Chains A and B, each alone.
Chain A
Amino acid sequence: MAEIITNHAAYDSKVEGNIFFTRVDAAVNWMRKNSLWPMPMGLACCAIELMGTAASRFDIARFGSEVMRFSPRQADVMIVAGTVTYKMALAVKRVWDQIPAPKWCIAMGACASTGGMYRSYAVLQGIDHLIPVDVYVSGCPPRPEALLEGLMKLQAKIEQSHSSATHFDAEKQA
């Protein structure tokens, strides 16, 4: 005996096909956060942990970030992994500038976040002096789990963003 369903109102796949309703932001954010292609800026021992994060045991592919891009043109998130010396600093900035927007930055480990133990004439005291950082990961170096949590934090941040709304607002004002 057929039961009449009254409260599943909105969507009937037989009538409407494969359509579902969402907000532009929600859809865009969902796509962005699940395919964050990293630009691995490996500068010191943190880079070893970054490699560990990418390898099979920790498998950054579970978070959609397995496509390490060594071209900034194809990257979404720059993972600054290691000590940024003043000699390297402007090169890091240059690579960052070459990444097309939208882009994000993870400062991985103590050195990239604050200069770490290098209170020294040679070391930039945190990459945030040069480029905007979205997530700081503590540790010296951080374990792969910590980096993955940083990545998940970044995903949560992207989920909250209102990029399309901002975009349309800007268009309206123009």
Chain B
Amino acid sequence: MLKSRPECGALIFFLSEMSTLYTLLRERFGTAILDTVDFRGEHTVIVERSKAADILRYCRDELSFDYLLDLSSVDYYLEEPRWEMVYELYALANGANHHLRVKFRLPEGEKAVSVSEIWPTAAWHEREVYDMMGIEFDGLSDHRRILMWEGYPYFPLRKDFPLAGKPTEMPDVAFTDKAPLDGGPFVTSPTSETTPHREPRSREKN
């Protein structure tokens, strides 16, 4: 069962400075807090994988982050460890309106810890992460695919999965085929500076 909403009125007052929050986390978890990043008003805490569940639970119970905005994963293909889990936390209680991002890295083949016990909304997000990237979750009660069908053999958001897809066949359920990508795939470079640079174009060299 979900615990009742934490009583945290006093704490929110202190959290008006994000550095207070970092201090609280460091005091409590020490070296498990690997790094903190502030970028254009966005606050990120990079944490140790083994302590991630404890830290996230602490964020909810003690630091009043009662709302999980989103949960996602990143594929750092050819890097080690390959996966990164990203949690977007939000403190709605008493109008606190704090946004905190928590990240941890995860090697291939290892299960991520499920936070669906902490925020029940995480269950569907974790199913999506599993469906798209194949990261499994320890403690997730419902481990079905959510977007693709049961029995689809690939994890299509992995970097080594081709954009065009792969042919599959499940009689009476679904099939897939390779999409034609003449001259493509056409991809945009979102961080490049000018609009012409950002136009979707083929990255293959002719």
Chain A residues at the B interface, C-beta cutoff of 8 Å:
86-87, 89-90, 115, 118-125, 129
What separation, in Å, do the CA atoms of A86 and B151 have in the docked complex? 13
Pick from A89, A90, A122: contact of B165, CB under 8 Å:
A122
B144-168 vs A: 1/0 string, CB under 8 Å?
A: 0001110000101000011111100
On whether A87 and B163 interact (CB within 8 A), knowing A119-B179, A119-B185, A125-B179, the answer reads no
Q: 15 A-B Cβ contacts within 8 A? A: A86-B174, A87-B149, A89-B174, A90-B172, A90-B173, A119-B163, A119-B180, A119-B181, A120-B165, A121-B162, A121-B164, A122-B148, A122-B156, A125-B180, A129-B177
CB < 8 Å A-B pair total: 47
What separation, in Å, do the CA atoms of A125 and B154 have in the docked complex? 19
CB neighbors of A among B169-185 (8 A): 172-177, 179-181, 184-185
What separation, in Å, do the CA atoms of A129 and B180 have in the docked complex? 13
What separation, in Å, do the CA atoms of A89 and B176 have in the docked complex? 10
Minimum distance in angstroms from A69 CB to a CB of chain B = 25
Q: Are B176 and A121 in contact (CB under 8 A)?
A: yes
Minimum distance in angstroms from B197 CB to a CB of chain A = 20
Q: Are B179 and A115 in contact (CB under 8 A)?
A: yes
Residues of A within 8 A of B179 (CB): 115, 118-121, 123, 125
Report, nearest first, the 5 A-B pairs whose CB atoms are least far apart: A121-B165, A119-B179, A121-B156, A86-B176, A86-B174
Q: Which residue, of A87, A119, A129, has the highest number of chain B Cβ atoms within 10 A? A: A119
15 more A-B residue pairs beyond the given contacts A121-B154, A123-B179, with a C-beta to C-beta distance below 8 A: A86-B175, A86-B176, A87-B147, A89-B174, A90-B172, A118-B179, A119-B163, A119-B164, A119-B179, A120-B179, A121-B179, A122-B148, A122-B165, A125-B177, A125-B179
Residues of A within 8 A of B176 (CB): 86, 121-122
What separation, in Å, do the CA atoms of A122 and B163 have in the docked complex? 10
Minimum distance in angstroms from B196 CB to a CB of chain A = 20
Q: Which residue, of A119, A121, A125, has the highest number of chain B Cβ atoms within 10 A? A: A121
Minimum distance in angstroms from B115 CB to a CB of chain A = 27
Minimum distance in angstroms from A172 CB to a CB of chain B = 38
Minimum distance in angstroms from A163 CB to a CB of chain B = 32
A115 to B, closest residue via Cβ: B179
Residues of B within 8 A of A90 (CB): 172-175
CB neighbors of A among B41-60 (8 A): none
Q: Are A87 and B172 in contact (CB under 8 A)?
A: no
Minimum distance in angstroms from A151 CB to a CB of chain B = 29
Q: Which residue, of B147, B175, B179, has the highest number of chain A Cβ atoms within 10 A? A: B179
Q: Are B166 and A121 in contact (CB under 8 A)?
A: yes
